[in-house]
Amino acid sequence: MASAEPAADECFCKSCGEIIKKEAEICPKCGVRQKSASSQRQKFASSQKDRMTAGILGILLGSLGIHKFYLGKNALGIIYLCFCWTGIPTIVGFVEGIIYLFASDEEFQKKYVEK
């Protein structure tokens, strides 16, 4: 069993404990499958949110914070609801909707979804 610490792009084999690359599907030392690529893709796909949907919700219903609820940021959605009578969430939601629409898919997922 390896005693060194793995680097940022490495991990321990779940079977033999050897340090291997995180992307490795099969350990080169013991031959045990580490993780299935399809389950990783399904996990990633299920956590993704559509930036077009979030952008349109921000533009049309931003005053109620619906886009924040869609992104899983419920506390911010409630704050938007509490202050919807001021008109400030309307402006902020509109601007956020535009930002969502003009962001790339990767940038949107990284900045606004994965937290």
At residue 39, the 3 state secondary structure works out as helix
Q: What pLDDT score does 80 carry?
A: 96
Query: pLDDT tens, 27-86?
Result: 888 888 887 545 555 555 556 789 999 999 999 999 999 999 999 999 999 999 999 999
Rounded distance between C-alpha atoms, residue 103 and residue 55, angstroms: 10
Q: What is the mean pLDDT of residues 89-98?
A: 96
**Amino acid (1-letter code) at residue 37:** A
Rounded distance between C-alpha atoms, residue 50 and residue 55, angstroms: 9
Cβ neighbours of residue 69 closer than 8 Å, sequence gap 6 or more: 77
Q: At residue 112, does pLDDT exceed 80?
A: yes
Q: What pLDDT score does 3 carry?
A: 55
Phi, psi at residue 19, to the nearest 5°?
A: -75, 125
Any idea where the domains of the chain sit in the sequence? Answer: 10-47, 51-113
Q: What pLDDT score does 83 carry?
A: 95
Q: What pLDDT score does 45 carry?
A: 53
Q: What pLDDT score does 115 carry?
A: 60
Q: What is the mean pLDDT of residues 86-103?
A: 95
Does this model's pTM top 0.75?
Answer: no
- Which residue from 88, 87, 52 is spatially nearest to 67, judged by alpha carbons? 52
Q: What pLDDT score does 2 carry?
A: 46
